[in-house]
Amino acid sequence: MTITCKATVLRTCGLPEPFAQSRPLAVEEVTIDPPQPTELLIRIGGAGLCHSDLSVINGTRPRPVPLAMGHEGAGEVMEVGSAVSGIRPGDHVVFQFSASCGRCRRCHEGRPQLCETAAPARAKGELMAGGRRIHDRDGVALAHHSGVSCFAEYAVVDRGSVVPIDKEVPLREAALFGCAVMTGVGAVINTARIRPGDTVAILGLGGVGLSGLIGAALAGAGKVIALDLDPAKLKRALALGATHGFDPAAPGTVEEIRALTGGGVDFAIELAGAVAAMRTAYAITRRGGEVITAGLSPAGAEFAFEHASLVSDEKSIRGSYMGSCAPARDIPRFLDFYRQGRLPVDRLIDGFIGFDDINQGFDRLSTGGALRQVLVPHG
């Protein structure tokens, strides 16, 4: 069925802060087309405000506009396309922000986050079957944000963009598992594959970074070292399981960490999305250690290192996209850890907001006044 509903639309990237005044996000009435055979209609239960959204809004990582925003969320299935199996109306799902087709080479080798079919469609703001399903009042097609666009009351998405979940988890909490938890916990457990007793540094303590920190504690890291410029975030990290906290800009920080760890950490997990954080991560990693980065710096930013030291110290630098997750496997198991109390990511939620507070919400995120706020479209 065709749906008319509210959605949050970005028409211009890079408007100045505070967003409460420039108002880059407009809540508009849109029309959503019925799902095609391989798609689903979802009623949104919760959508997280993420730094990846902020980087689109402020223009550091621009996307095609006009754009229906939102990529981290969860909801209830309302309608399924004729070719969809294994999901029925009434099921609860979490979105994955990079769809997978299940048929390309990357999907077949167990790396659905790198799906070769979804990537070109995502870059164009389309769904995998081709085209866009969202239209404004003038009939103009709006781009889909990461194939999701969940800052809305409803969304049409690819089957490969959703993972069914247990209904016992409230949707407004499950929303975080579509990005912050998957990216942060996945970077530690899947990409780094840390072992009990390993020494881990987490650089950047936003929603993704603190998810990674909680994941490191879950995995049994011997030392969990938190680094951030914000003292309040360091305090929060210590409350969530960090064994040590450092300001990376303070004189002597690198030397202190290397002394604390007997030469450097086994794994430095960069989750800040900043080249300066990458430099620190490389400097505090021991010989034979690994730098893992899941942060997204502004487009065009480059990280340089001394080639000879990479060889002589036998360090590794690896990217981690979507936490190297196979979402159909990892989102349910991370939710199980959450229900057991072993992955308390609900402690990252600062509050729940409505559409009217969306621009102010991104001001709070930008200034560090909030880690994770969740939009609840239906109140």
pLDDT given for residue 259 in this prediction: 98
**Rounded Cα distance, 295 and 184, in Å:** 10
pLDDT tens per residue across span 140-149: 999 999 999 9
Q: Measured in whole angstroms, how far is the alpha carbon of residue 116 from the centre of its chain? A: 20
Residue type, 3: I
Overall average pLDDT of the 29-55 stretch: 98
pLDDT given for residue 298 in this prediction: 87
Residue 51 has pLDDT above 90, yes or no: yes
Question: 231 and 296 in contact (C-beta within 8 Å)?
Answer: no
187 φ, ψ (degrees, to nearest 5):
-60, -35
Overall average pLDDT of the 246-265 stretch: 98
What mean pLDDT value characterizes the chain?
A: 97
Q: Looking up tokens 């077949």, which residue turns up?
A: 108
Residue 226 has pLDDT above 80, yes or no: yes
Portion of the chain with pLDDT greater than 90, in percent: 98
Overall average pLDDT of the 94-109 stretch: 95
* Domain locations in the chain as residue ranges: 3-178+344-375, 184-320
Q: How far are the Cα atoms of 227, 228, 229, 238, 246 from residue 249, in angstroms, in the given order? A: 9, 9, 7, 18, 9
Binned at pLDDT 50, 70 and 90, residue 315 comes out as very high
Binned at pLDDT 50, 70 and 90, residue 33 comes out as very high
Overall average pLDDT of the 48-64 stretch: 95
pLDDT given for residue 264 in this prediction: 98
**Helix or strand or coil: residue 61?**
coil
Residue 363 has pLDDT above 90, yes or no: yes
| Torsion of Cα atoms, 120 then 123 then 124 then 128, to 10° | 50
Binned at pLDDT 50, 70 and 90, residue 308 comes out as very high
**∠ CA 233-236-242, rounded to 5°:** 105
DSSP string covering 172-234, please? HHHGGGGTHHHHHHHIIIIII---TT-EEEEE--SHHHHHHHHHHHHHT-SEEEEE-S-HHHH
pLDDT given for residue 299 in this prediction: 84
Portion of the chain with pLDDT greater than 70, in percent: 100
Residue 379 has pLDDT above 90, yes or no: no
Overall average pLDDT of the 218-241 stretch: 97
pLDDT given for residue 174 in this prediction: 98
pLDDT tens per residue across span 107-132: 999 999 999 999 999 999 999 999 99
CATH for the 3-178+344-375 domain, from 3.30.930.10, 3.10.20.90, 3.40.50.300, 3.90.180.10:
3.90.180.10
Question: 201 and 232 in contact (C-beta within 8 Å)?
Answer: no
Residue 1 has pLDDT above 80, yes or no: no
pLDDT given for residue 270 in this prediction: 98
Overall average pLDDT of the 82-106 stretch: 96
Overall average pLDDT of the 252-261 stretch: 98
pLDDT tens per residue across span 184-214: 999 999 999 999 999 999 999 999 999 999 9
Domain 184-320 belongs to what architecture? Answer: 3-Layer(aba) Sandwich (3.40)
